[in-house]
Amino acid sequence: MGQIIFWTLIRLAFTIPLLWFLQDYFDYNYWFIILVFVLYGFVIHPAIISYKKFEEENETIINNSLCSSCKNFDKSAVICIKYDEHPNENYIPCNGVDWEPKP
């Protein structure tokens, strides 16, 4: 999840100066339309696609694993908070020893 936010901020950091530079070349009436399309097409839409891909890749871990029912599991980052490791379909960070049910 952090990688999605990182690359969204990088794209935004390149887009803002570019739009500021191009402001002098467009009429003020069209400026806001161009601003919306560029921000959506270059910053927001790729972030949405990356987030959907992240959800698809981690769907089985979030819904059907032992970790998903543990209180130390953070589903937004798909990470075991206690061990600071990412579980996957074949790996559970605590091997089920430190599993604690969610309250």
Q: How far is CA 74 from CA 41, 43, 78, 84, 98, in A?
A: 30, 26, 6, 10, 15
For residue 87, which of 39, 103, 63 has the smallest C-alpha distance? 63
Domain match, 50 and 33 both: yes
Q: Domain tally for the chain?
A: 2
- In this predicted model, what pLDDT tens digit does every residue of 39-68 receive, in sequence order? 999 999 999 999 999 889 888 888 888 888
What residues make up the domain containing 9?
A: 2-57
Domain match, 53 and 69 both: no
Domain match, 53 and 78 both: no
At 42, the amino acid letter reads F
Domain match, 44 and 85 both: no
Domain match, 10 and 49 both: yes
pLDDT, the chain, mean? 88
Task: State the pLDDT at residue 89.
Answer: 84
- In this predicted model, what pLDDT tens digit does every residue of 71-80 receive, in sequence order? 889 888 888 8
